[in-house]
C-alpha cells in the first residue's frame, strides 16, 4: 500500500457524536482529543511522515462561551500532555495559525511543546489552532508588504515559491490526502493554498469513531486515484 507522505484531517463531528449519546458537546471534544492521540500513533505506524489536523478555526470563536471555554481548558490539558506523547512517538509538534489570540499561558505551552519536540523526526504533527486559510494568506501578504517596503523583496521576485515561504506551512510539503469526517463535504477555510492538488476523502464517520480501519480505507481510496496534474 502506497502511504501518503502528508495527510491533512478536518476533525469534524465531536458535538454530534456526544449528542447521539445524550452527552454535552464538551464530552465529544474530550473523546475527539483522545482519538487524536490514537491516530497519531497509527499514522506513525503506517509510515505517514506529516500529519496536519484542523482543531480550532478562526470562526470557532463564534461558538457559545461555554463551549469555547471548554475547548480552551481542553487545549491547556492536551498541550501539556502532548509533551509525553511527542516523546513517546518521536514526534515533532508545530502549531499553525495565529496563536496571539490565546491567553498567555496557552501561548507559553505551545512554545514549550514546539521547543521540546523540535528535534524529533518520526512524525511531523501540525495542529491548526485559531487557523483560517484566508487569515493565513492575509498575514502572509502583510509580511510580504513589509519586506517590499524595506527593500528586502522586489515585486519581480514574487513567485509561488516565494509566497509559499510566508505561510504558516512554509516548512512542510503540501498534503497528498485530505480527510474530512462526519459527512460534511467542504473545506471550511482550511489550507486553501496548500490543497490545490490534494486528493479529498469524505466519510460519514464521526471523528471520535475514526480509527485505524477507517484511516486505512482513506489511504486505499488514495491509492485508487490516478494522480495526474494539469487537468489532462
Active site residues: 12, 60
The grid coordinates of residue 228 equal 495526474
Cβ atoms of residues 12 and 184 within 8 Å: yes
> What phi-psi label fits residue 231: left (phi over 0), alpha (psi between -120 and 50 degrees) or beta?
left
Which CB contacts under 8 angstroms, 24+ apart, belong to 209-214? 209/17, 209/35, 210/35, 210/39, 210/181, 211/35, 211/38, 211/39, 211/42, 212/38, 212/42
Contacts of 202 (CB under 8 A, 6+ apart): 179, 180, 183, 184, 185
Amino acid at each position: 500500500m502506497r502511504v501518503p507522505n502528508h495527510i491533512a484531517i478536518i476533525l469534524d463531528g465531536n458535538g454530534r457524536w456526544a449528542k447521539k449519546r445524550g452527552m454535552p458537546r464538551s464530552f465529544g471534544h474530550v473523546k475527539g482529543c483522545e482519538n487524536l492521540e490514537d491516530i497519531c500513533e497509527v499514522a506513525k505506524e503506517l509510515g505517514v511522515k506529516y500529519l496536519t489536523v484542523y482543531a480550532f478555526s478562526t470562526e470557532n470563536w463564534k461558538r457559545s462561551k461555554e463551549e469555547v471555554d471548554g475547548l480552551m481548558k481542553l487545549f491547556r490539558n492536551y498541550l501539556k500532555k502532548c509533551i509525553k506523547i511527542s516523546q513517546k512517538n518521536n514526534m515533532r509538534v508545530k502549531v499553525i495559525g495565529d496563536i496571539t489570540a490565546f491567553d498567555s499561558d496557552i501561548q507559553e505551552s505551545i512554545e514549550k511543546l514546539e521547543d521540546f519536540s523540535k528535534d524529533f523526526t518520526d512524525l511531523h504533527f501540525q495542529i491548526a489552532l485559531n487557523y483560517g486559510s484566508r487569515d493565513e494568506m492575509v498575514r502572509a501578504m502583510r509580511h510580504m508588504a513589509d519586506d517590499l517596503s524595506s527593500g528586502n523583496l522586489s515585486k519581480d521576485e514574487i513567485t509561488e515559491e516565494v509566497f509559499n515561504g510566508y505561510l504558516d506551512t512554509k516548512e512542510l510539503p503540501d498534503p497528498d490526502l485530505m480527510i474530512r469526517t462526519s459527512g460534511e463535504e467542504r473545506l471550511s477555510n482550511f489550507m486553501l493554498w496548500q490543497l490545490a492538488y490534494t486528493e479529498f476523502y469524505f466519510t460519514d464517520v464521526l471523528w471520535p469513531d475514526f480509527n485505524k480501519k477507517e484511516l486505512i480505507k482513506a489511504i486505499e481510496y488514495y491509492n485508487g486515484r490516478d494522480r495526474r496534474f494539469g487537468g489532462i
